[in-house]
Amino acid sequence: MKWEIPPGKLLSRFNQEYNVMDKRIAIRDLLSEQGLLPLFFHPDFETSAGILESLYRAGCRLVEFTNRGPEALQVFTKLRTISGEKFPGMYLGAGTIKNESAANAFMEAGADFLVSPGISEDIFDAAYSEKVMWIPGCMTVTEIMKAEEFGIELVKLFPGSLLGPAFVQAIKEIFPQISFIPTGGVDLDKENLLSWIRAGVAAVGMGSKLISPASMKNREYAKIEKVTREVLASIGELKNPSFH
């Protein structure tokens, strides 16, 4: 199965499918351009909205809200409701999707994309049926081969701290159609970011290193915005060919 535009019999259906594919391409290209996929979870809606606004003000247009608590779906639904008006151009995805039930629930809530820590045919089928981009997590070449069979274009490498940039360098040539996003263990410093960028990743995923538990607890939105701006600037500089 591939992410292809079905040959719809009606023009309206064709346009609908085209727009879906256009959205997938937009998310893929935006992720590569942004170079950073911020991810976070907080059980309180007001705090989560404040964090999302901080990320948006810093320049992020692609954010992952993780499914890591019983309040996650309710908070995500509220965030999705306000994001269109308050954060135009923002794509809000749902992360830590570990089963088909969660995938369906968050897609119904309006998730622009889904992210999982592993790879699952059930989640793939659910996302494919709704034409929602799914980014599976992979740790081995066998898992990446499975993702390739599904026609997946973006793969989350997790945990990045165990795999490292050398793993990306070793596998990138044999999976030229797949873009990689290491998550877990990516640091804020330029040296670490440069090692991943030189390895050829499309972007890096950052959670607590970017949005610390203390910053969330104390609602330090200005600090979150500042740190995010700095990381985005560093990634932009490091991705510039003239830097190398």
Dist. CA 180–CA 191, nearest whole Å = 19
Long-range contacts of 26-33 (CB under 8 A, 24+ apart): 26/91, 27/62, 27/91, 27/112, 27/113, 27/133, 28/133, 28/153, 28/154, 28/179, 30/61, 30/62, 30/91, 31/62, 31/154, 31/179, 31/181, 31/202, 31/203, 32/179, 32/202, 32/203
226 carries an active-site annotation: no
In DSSP terms, which residues pair with 95 in a beta bridge? 66
Q: What residues have CB less than 8 Å from 190, skipping those under 6 apart?
A: 234, 238
Distance CA 214, CA 44 (A): 15
**Of residues 2, 4, 23, 64, which has the active-site annotation?**
64
156 counts as catalytic? yes
Query: Of the listed 153, 156, 220, 225, which one is catalytic?
Result: 156
* Whether residue 176 has a cis bond before it, omega within 30° of 0: no
Q: Active-site residue numbers?
A: 64, 156
